[in-house]
Amino acid sequence: MSRFLGRDHRPLTPKRLTVVLVLLSVLLLAVSIFALSVGSVAITFGRVLAATTGFGTPEATDRLIILDIRLPRVLLAIIVGGGLSVAGAMLQALLRNPLAEPYILGISSGGTMGTILALGLSAGISTFTAPLASFAGSALVMFLVYGIARRHGQLDPYMLLLAGIMVGAFFNAAVLLTVSFFHEELRNVFLWLMGNLSGARFETLAVAGPLTLAACLPAFFLAKRYNLIATGDDAAAQLGVDVRVLRRWSYLLASVITGAVVSVSGVVGFVGLLIPHMCRILFGPDHRLLMPSSFLMGATFLVLADTLARTIIAPAEIPVGAVTAALGAPVFVYLLRRK
Amino acid sequence: MPVLTVDTVSFSYITGVPTLQNVSLEVNPGEFLTLVGPNGSGKSTLLKLLDRILLPSSGKILLDGRPLTAYARPELARRIAYVPQDRDMQFSFSVEDIVLMGRAPHMHGRLFENSHDRSVARRMMELTDTVHLAAHAITNLSGGERQRAFIARALAQEPRVLLLDEPTAHLDIAHQVDIFRLLRSLTAETGVTVVSVSHDLNLSALHSDRIAMLLCGGLAALGTPADVLTTERIREVFRTEVMVDNHPALGTPRVTMLR
């Protein structure tokens, strides 16, 4: 059984893909129900199911807590965890670099700058101001980095990496400068910088969610091509892949995912780097399985991490980014040693 | 009709510095053509141009009489396979995974390989002596084993033309001989055309139908091994003194280095 699920170096079959994805989906569902039941008010699984599905006799208070407070948060964790993991996997394939992760191309720095400007200038005219400003900041970085890294109409991976790091560093500096001038008003920025799912609202989730999912979907269809570029641009080109188009689209999709996620949850670190690697160790490097399993695994992981973050020192909260690193690093080391 | 026609092709990586200048040659169907020449003479570049991985700055290249640019990429991938020089791998795909990638141009958008794809891949692994490595991660292989895996992948494309960039660079003597023998038998039995870049003049002399010798981006010589591999020609192109006589058993030119 473990040989079937785990790495046995045989080529991927449709059967194995289905089994792994079904199991991961069931795991995600279980963890989500668990997360909905946990909190300052403990609610049993039965009542959780009643409140969410309407069967049985749901209690009004249950519905309020679960549907208005916990459910958006769990959904946000799924979107953020899943999205960042897929974006991380895409960038690792795109740059042929196992150290790549969603923030390496500076998107998060642009998003942070956008949020700061929104918080500083308008102090939240609507729930959408900060996320929109954040996404605009991310988009600005995306265009800048794209413009710098483009050479003869192609996105050179080396240039992309360097341009992303440089532009990111520049915006990071701008963020720090701004915060140091207005530190009183922008105290919250630090919390945001470490990733924070407490601001989950259905209004913003209704936009960021579908956007992220829509950008993740093509990644699953491009999976075969990611396998092919893993052995080199020339090798992929001679097998029929249009490497230029693949790079452009992947860059756009990864940026959109990262920008959308950062606009509603801040900079949740570590997930985008850790999860694709975990999935690679557990299920192999074949992107046809790696992409969807990264999404499910990332979602599960973040739901768990966020549940911990909001319950361990209740009623206070730990920034979820701290929990992802604290949880993730030991798990990753264990998997590495086991390999 | 020649399978590949190179018509007055020039190419520069950096504008103003030509890597290839006005090269013209024809490759005959089913022939084994080896490209030789000093480092930097443009051999690898020519190979990449033949598979449209690079586009010439002037001139044109025809495959079966049609310009390369007229073929759709997947269509080209079914006819020409290119084995690049060895490179380091970051992700630990298994050898079987790698060889199965060669089936991509034949899969027409199918997500998974079928049993025919798997049997073709198996056969090519048998031909390249890599079956015992099928479940091994490509990152754990030696340079030579990796190369044989990539050759198997190119063969799995079932191409009409096989382009190889120094296919025997890291191979031990037994595998060097095996690969050249394999390429030769492929041309003889299946009519595949092979264009290979090589630094091994003797192996090239043993197996090639013709040798093209490049120098500074131009064609210095093109002909049978006997025509091309002479002391004078090697002195002129490689700027080194060698002794050339005939292979005692086979009569092909034999290049012997001097101290």
Percent of chain A topping pLDDT 70: 93
Task: Profile chain B (259 residues) by mean pLDDT over runs of 10 residues.
Answer: 93 88 94 93 93 92 94 92 84 93 91 94 93 92 88 94 91 87 87 93 92 93 94 91 91 89
Residues B116 and A47: their CA atoms lie apart, in Å, by 53
pLDDT value for A315? 80
The pLDDT of residue A14 is above 60: yes
Q: How far is A219 from chain B (nearest CA, A)?
A: 13
- Homologous superfamily in CATH for domain B4-85+161-257: P-loop containing nucleotide triphosphate hydrolases (3.40.50.300)
Write out chain B residues lying below 8 Å of A8, CB-based: 135
Q: Does A224 touch chain B (CB under 8 A)?
A: yes
> How far does B99 lie from chain A, in Å, by closest CA?
10
Report the chain A residue with the minimal C-alpha distance to residue B136: A9
Name, in order, each residue with C-beta under 8 angstroms of A201's C-beta and a sequence gap of 6 or more. Answer: A72, A127
Of A38-47, A300-309, B101-110, the one with minimum mean pLDDT is A38-47
Confidence of residue A339 (pLDDT cuts 50, 70, 90): low
A188-243: per-residue pLDDT in tens?
A: 677 777 788 887 888 888 999 999 999 999 999 999 999 999 988 989 999 989 99
| Predicted pLDDT at A8 | 64
How would residue A3 be classed by pLDDT, with cut points 50, 70 and 90? very low
Taking alpha carbons only, the member of B86, B81, B89 closest to residue B53 is B81
Q: How far is CA A130 from CA A114, A127, A176, B241, in A?
A: 7, 7, 18, 74
Contact flag B100-A241 (C-beta cutoff 8 Å): no
Q: Is B152 on the interface with A (CB under 8 A)?
A: no
| Residues of B with Cβ-Cβ distance to A227 under 8 angstroms | 93, 97, 101
pLDDT of residue A120: 73
pLDDT score at A1:
42
Q: Hey, is the C-beta of A61 within 8 angstroms of any chain B C-beta?
A: no
User: What amino acid occupies position B86?
Assistant: D
Q: Does A161 touch chain B (CB under 8 A)?
A: no
Report the C-alpha gap between B51 and B62 in whole angstroms. 10
**Chain B within 8 Å of A241 (Cβ-Cβ)?**
yes
Q: Tokens standing for A280?
A: 């690679």
Q: Residue A271: name the closest of A140, A132, A79, A114 by CA.
A: A79
- Across the interface, whether the CB atoms of A230 and B135 are under 8 A apart is answered no
**Chain B partners of A6 at a C-beta cutoff of 8 Å?**
none
Kindly identify which residue of chain B lies nearest to residue A231, measuring between CA atoms: B89
Helix (H, G, I), strand (E, B) or coil at A122: coil
Beta bridge partners of B66: B63
Query: Where is average pLDDT lowest: A41-55, A167-181, A223-237?
Result: A41-55
Q: Do A234 and B137 touch (CB under 8 A)?
A: no
Task: Please check whether residue A104 is in contact with residue A87, taking contact to mean a CB–CB distance below 8 angstroms.
Answer: no
- ipTM value, please give it: 0.88
pLDDT of residue B68: 94
Rounded mean pLDDT of chain A? 87
Q: What is the pTM of this model?
A: 0.89
Of the residues A12, A221, A239, A339, the best mutation for testing chain B's interface (the one with the most B CB atoms within 10 Å of its CB) is: A239
Write the pLDDT tens digit of every residue in A72-125: 999 999 999 999 999 999 999 998 888 899 998 889 899 888 888 887 776 556
Q: Does A147 touch chain B (CB under 8 A)?
A: no
- Which domains are present in chain A? 2-338 (1.10.3470.10)
Q: Choose the weakest-confidence range: A46-55, A293-302, B8-17, B152-161.
A: A46-55
pLDDT band per the 50, 70, 90 thresholds, residue A299: very high
pLDDT at A300 over 90: yes
Residue B85 is predicted with a pLDDT of 84
**CA–CA gap between residue A186 and residue A183 (Å, rounded):** 5
Alpha carbon of B84: minimum distance to chain A alpha carbons (Å): 7
Say how far apart CA A89 and CA A271 lie, in whole Å. Answer: 11
Smallest CA–CA separation between A156 and chain B, in Å? 15
Cross-chain CB nearest to A234 (options B82, B89, B91): B82
Cα B232 to the chain's mean position, in Å?
26
pLDDT for the residue numbered B100 = 96
Q: Which amino acid makes up residue A102? A: P
Q: In chain B, what residues touch A240 (CB-CB under 8 Å)?
A: 73-74, 76-77, 104-105
Report whether B218 contacts B24 (CB < 8 A). no
CB-based contact (8 Å) between B1 and chain A? no
- Binned at pLDDT 50, 70 and 90, residue A53 comes out as confident
- The alpha carbon of residue B182 is apart from the nearest alpha carbon of chain A, in Å, by 21
A269 in helix, strand or coil? coil
Looking at this protein, which amino acid is placed at residue A198? S
Phi then psi for residue B200, to 5 deg, are -95, 100
pLDDT for res A201? 83
Nearest CA in chain A to B94: A9
Q: Which residue of B has its CA nearest to A8?
A: B135
CA A274 to chain centre: 11
CA proximity to B229, closest of B13, B34, B19, B71? B34
Option in A231, A240, A286 nearest B89 (CB): A231
Confidence at residue A231, expressed as pLDDT on a 0 to 100 scale: 87
* Closest CA–CA distance from residue B5 to any residue of chain A (Å): 19
| Cα–Cα distance, B192 to B203 (Å, whole number) | 19
Domain boundaries, chain B: 4-85+161-257
Task: Give the percent of chain A with pLDDT over 90.
Answer: 45
CB contact under 8 A, A11 and B92: no
**Residue of B104, B112, B118 lying closest to A228 (CB–CB):** B104
